[in-house]
Structure 1
Amino acid sequence: MKIGRWNLAPVPALIVGIVAISFSAIFIKWSEAPASILGMYRLLFTVLLMAPFTGRAVRREMRRIKPVDGGLLFLSGLFLGLHFLFWIESLRHTSVASSMIVLSLQPVLVAIGAYAVFRERTGGAALLGMGMALAGTVLIGWGDIGFSREAVYGDVLSLLGTLAVSVHMLIGQRLCAHIPSHVYSFLVFLTAAGVLAAYNLAAGIGMTAYPAREWGIFLLLAVVPTVFGHLLFNSLLRVVGATTVSMSILGEPVGAILLAYLLLGEGITDYQALGGALTLAGLAVFLKTKRTAPSPERPARESA
């Protein structure tokens, strides 16, 4: 796997990415800035950090991109922007545990989309795993109904964010088959930042009057979960495919919930524990029954 001029092995890159994105929810919880501002500066700072290393390659590839791929790049950026808008806002209304477990449904949604787009089939055991994961998420939501309506609202936002990022990853699987992953990431991050900037302008949300502490959090979100998380995952799309990357990110909810317990003092309810265990068990069954090796001849085509 290659990112710009660096060759990286998929497994170590994946481990680094999982650890990095586990901090995302913690940084967001520390911030008081609006969700759209957090998402916008997270992506904008990432683009600025990438520019010195990818600028020449981006200019070269831009001349080769076909109009249809340009449209898909915009859609990928649009859905990534929506993902950050919905998911970051969900953390304002529900716990890290609930939001992250709902987000862990991403591989199931990607698998469904992969069948529709790439005709990747899912066997009976994998379908059982999907059912277990969905049941676990329903259990988490049921527990939050007893907790507060606001928590349920947060769960719904997290689900919308999960749907958005699933579409983003499926588009990325197709585009990264013939566009270098670092170029794809740069253009998509820039597009998503532009989408969120347009939202902020339309909603009348101020974009500059934030204390130094918030700017530090914006930078942390760019460096840790985005550069060392999303950027690495985008690079893996061509190697192992969208569904396998999504399934492997199952370490994020576990890491985020543990960090929330240690750093934020958030407890875990019985419903969250039981629903989370059922969701992760179902997703583990799903992963065990799927193949992870993509075909070299087709865009990251794998049964996972």
Structure 2
Amino acid sequence: MNTLQPKSTLSILLPLVVGMAAISCSPILVRYSSAPVSVQGLYRMLFTFLLMLPFGWKHRHAFASITLRDWVKLTVAGFFLALHFLLWMASLSYTSIASSTILLTLEPVFVAIGAYLVFKDRLRRSAVIGMSVSIAGAILVSSGDFGLSQSAFFGDTLSLLGTVAVAVNMILAKQLMARIPSYVYSLIVFGITALCFAVYNVFAGIPMIGYESREWGLFLLLAIIPTVFGHMIFNWLLQSIKATTISMAVLAEPIGASLLGLLLFGELITGFQLIGGVFMIAGFILYLKSEERPSAAKQGDAALDTTSGAVS
């Protein structure tokens, strides 16, 4: 059954554009902060959790239906989301905004591979071709950065590992949100992610207080702009438009972030980044087109939050 509700073009386009602009700001805000990335991640997730918490009352009955096994999976999902943030945000200290965000678009490829291994989901030939083209693009981006410096290549590796981590998070989300409302899932996982960051900071001896007011403002902006006005808007739009449409909108992040990186930090986009980025986006589009066919559409409701769930 098609649960998509019709809306006017403007009521869809406006929040879509807002979401696209919001997620593009994530790497910029990370770069502006001088706080350790684990502290940025902690307060981004904590503030988002606190902003969501007052609206969780109407979902209180859903918490009672969560099993012990579900809580274990929710904890693992929160851990891998924290690992994603830690690795991806750290990558911005070593490589360019363009390379770091371009590599994030590999997330659906890793999710598809994981879904094949875990759920035995079969992939069409066109999907495999699309994934191969995207991987070739990622190799181009990283090989170009290795030519620039080993530091840039190390940053690319961190971003790539962070993308694998968020793919694991998405695979768990696909299992859990078949039984748990997406709002409840997000609230719990964001809280667990914040807790993981707090534990990491304690064991690493990283102070969690004593930062300047400017830093606290950036922490709050990371929670509000890319998370609330970015990914939460996309999740809301999933009630009325196709997941593939949201996934295409998420491709705006490396484009918008690269342009902002050029304007604000003077980071030029290299030929390898440009060509590799084109390959990756073209491969992703081919992959999404294969998923739009009728036989794949039957699983659309179960995969909604995994298709558009990349977090940055």
| TM-score, normalization by structure 1 | 0.88
Consecutive unaligned residues in structure 2, runs of 5 or more: 5-10
Alignment of 1:1-304 (within 5 A): 15-54=17-56, 56-57=57-58, 59-234=60-235, 248-291=249-292, 293-295=297-299
For 2:15 and 2:114, locate their aligned partners in 1 and report how far apart those are by CA, in whole Å. Answer: 25
Q: CA deviation at 1:232?
A: 3.8
For 1:14 and 1:234, locate their aligned partners in 2 and report how far apart those are by CA, in whole Å. Answer: 11
Query: What secondary structure does 2:256 align onto?
Result: helix
> Structure 1 residues 88, 294: CA separation in 2 closer, same or farther (over 3 Å shift)?
farther
258-267 vs 204-213, greater mean Cα deviation: 258-267
For 1:302 and 1:152, locate their aligned partners in 2 and report how far apart those are by CA, in whole Å. Answer: 28
Q: Is the 8 A contact 1:110 1:246 kept in 2?
A: no
Cα deviation 1:218-254 (Å, max 9, x = unaligned):
0000001111223344557798898886565222111
The number of residues matched between the two structures is: 297
Moved over 6 A (4+): 9-12, 236-244, 301-304
Q: Give the partner amino acid of 1:32.
A: S
CA RMSD of aligned residues (A): 2.8
Q: Is the 8 A contact 1:295 1:302 kept in 2?
A: no
Q: CA deviation at 1:73?
A: 0.9
| TM-score, normalization by structure 2 | 0.86
Q: Is the 8 A contact 2:103 2:156 kept in 1?
A: yes
Q: Is the 8 A contact 1:107 1:247 kept in 2?
A: no
Q: Give the partner amino acid of 1:64.
A: S
Q: Is the 8 A contact 2:177 2:302 kept in 1?
A: no
For 2:90 and 2:190, locate their aligned partners in 1 and report how far apart those are by CA, in whole Å. Answer: 19
253-262 vs 102-111, greater mean Cα deviation: 253-262
Consecutive unaligned residues in structure 1, runs of 5 or more: 3-8
> Structure 1 residues 289, 10: CA separation in 2 closer, same or farther (over 3 Å shift)?
farther
> Structure 1 residues 259, 94: CA separation in 2 closer, same or farther (over 3 Å shift)?
same
Query: What secondary structure does 1:61 align onto?
Result: helix
For 2:241 and 2:81, locate their aligned partners in 1 and report how far apart those are by CA, in whole Å. Answer: 20
Q: Is the 8 A contact 2:173 2:305 kept in 1?
A: no
Q: CA deviation at 1:274?
A: 1.3
Q: Give the partner amino acid of 2:36.
A: P
